[in-house]
Every structure is written in C-alpha cells, then in structure tokens.
Amino acid sequence: MAVLTIGAFPSLVGSMTLDFSFKLAEAAVAKGHKVNFWLSGNAVMMAKKGQKAFKDYSHIEKRMMELIAKGIEITVCEACAEARGYHKEDTPAGMKRASMDWYLAKTFNSERVLHIGGE
C-alpha cells in the first residue's frame, strides 16, 4: 500500500478536472492505497453541503461522501473556504478544515503527490 496525496484546485463547475481528481482518488482507494485529499482555491466549492444534482453540472458530493466513508481524508483550505463564504457549519460531515500547512505536511509521508491545478 502506498500513500497518495492529491491537491485539487479547480472549480466544481467549468471543467471536468475536479471530477477527474475524485475519480482518481476513488481508483487509488479501490487498489488499496491510502489517499489524502486537499481542496484549495476554487475546489473549496466542495465544502458546501447539500449540493443539488443537475444533469447539466458536475455533481461530486455523493462520490465524495462515499470516499469519506471509506476512510479517505478530505481536508479543505479554511481560508479559501471562508473567503468564499463557506463556513464551518456549511461543511459536509466528515470533511476537515485546516490551513495550508496541512497539505505540505501530508507530502512528507507520501510516495506520490499529485498537484492538480486550478483555473
């Protein structure tokens, strides 16, 4: 088992990059790897619970909650979230909030870090 840390920065709507990031995490977990998942920049859109599924837009909340239930550690950048009006009470169950040093610290014990940039 390896440790993979993913840093995801793209927005939920506008490209399929964030979808890809979660699918990648799902595939890694399915292979038995440990995944740390950092959401920052526009990707902190995932820090708002109760997102409604429309077929015109990406909807990843369900997949994210399933991954959290499987033990993946998903942490959102607290400053990026607060700047966008996503407060602690908005955060989906099981998602953590931390400052950016959390992400850097997770790289220490990771075999691979995949930094998936934003817009």
Partner 1 sequence: MAAIKLCFVVQHPPYKSENPRLALTHSISSQTAEIHLEDGQTVVPTLILVGDGVLNAVKNQQAMKLYGVTSTESHIKNGLLIDMPVWICKEDMQRLGLKEDQVITDAEDMGAELKATFVSFADINKELEACDHLMFF
Taking the complex as a whole, the smallest distance from the CB of residue 117 to partner 1 amounts, in Å, to 6
Q: Least CB distance from residue 65 to partner 1, whole Å?
A: 24
User: Taking CB under 8 A as the rule, does residue 100 contact partner 1?
Assistant: yes
Q: With binding defined as CB under 8 A, does residue 41 bind partner 1?
A: yes
Nearer to partner 1, 16 or 104 (CB): 104
Closest by CA position to 96, among listed 29, 28, 40, 33: 40
| Tokens 């993979």 found at | 4
Nearest CA among 76, 75, 77, 60 for reference residue 26: 60
Considering only the stretches 26-34, 51-59, 61-69, 109-117, report the one whose residues sit in contact with partner 1 under the rule CB under 8 A: 109-117
What the block records as the tokens of 92 is: 């989906």
